[in-house]
Amino acid sequence: MNAGSTDLLLAETPLLVLAPHPDDESLGCGLLLAERWQRGLPSHVACLTDGAASHPASQEWPGPRLSKLRREELSKAVGCLGGDPARDITWFGYPDAALHRLRAPKEDLARDLGALIDRLNASTVVTASSDDPHCDHVACAAAARQAVAERPGVSLWSYAIWSRWNGWAEGREAPGARLDLPERRDAKNAAVRAHGSQLGQVVRDDPQGFAMPPGFAARFCAEPEIYKRVQP
């Protein structure tokens, strides 16, 4: 573990985690958030999309109903990690799987993220990695870089979801921080399980809809979290 880098992530100044979808915050940053909230450190989760596209063929769970459920799941997950859902979540509600289709995706997102960074007085931003092969993750990372580049003194870090187990942690550069907190694993596991719609436990009428692959969530809950420092 790079102790110095870990200390930066656990600093007393406000930290903002960017989640392209509800569940990314728990899978990628559950240990970090649980530890910070346990210490009483100001921490905030911004969810960029409404999560409505995971089961497009479902009649029982059309987009608006599914989005409402996923917002509720996010609130439950943040509560499991020790946060206050009413205080510690910003829900942007952009269309799921469509961030790149915004009129000016990077600029629009960067504007909104920058305003939130300013409101929170955040000194650290943690975003999904641009190496993740998902359009919303790539758009989130690009907007985060632009917003942070316009704010000297704010540091930017990344976490990986879809590229986490494909060599990302051993990639081009060494990890900036490795966070292993066994005492927070129960909280992280509970937070991940709060996203039942993504675990195949809720939507029954769309067999082709999204569900985390077998063992995917369990591995995130069992392994350390890896964060890389990003140069805006």
Residue closest to 89 by CA, chosen among 39, 29, 180, 19: 19
Residues 158-176 have a mean pLDDT of: 81
* Tens-place pLDDT, residues 134-158: 999 999 999 999 999 999 999 999 9
* Tens-place pLDDT, residues 32-70: 999 999 999 999 999 999 999 999 999 999 999 999 999
Structural domain of 78: 3-230
CA–CA dist 6, 24 (Å, integer): 20
Question: What pLDDT sits at residue 101?
Answer: 82
User: Are 203 and 55 within 8 A, CB to CB?
Assistant: yes
CA–CA dist 75, 80 (Å, integer): 9
CA–CA dist 31, 43 (Å, integer): 12
Element (H, E) at 124: strand 124-128
Q: How many domains are contained in the chain? A: 1
Alpha-helix residue ranges (DSSP H) falling in the chain: 3-9, 24-39, 63-80, 85-88, 105-120, 135-149, 185-193, 216-222
Q: Is the pTM of this model over 0.85?
A: yes
* Tens-place pLDDT, residues 65-104: 999 999 999 999 999 999 999 999 999 999 999 998 876 6
* Residue 1, CA distances (Å) to 5, 7, 52, 70, 124 in order: 8, 11, 37, 34, 19
CATH number of the structural domain spanning residue 112 = 3.40.50.10320
Residues 213, 218, 219, CA angle at the centre, nearest 5°?
90
User: Are 209 and 54 within 8 A, CB to CB?
Assistant: yes
CA atoms within 13 A on the CB side of 229: 12
Residue written as token pair 């799941």: 73
* Residue 206, CA distances (Å) to 18, 60, 114 in order: 28, 9, 37
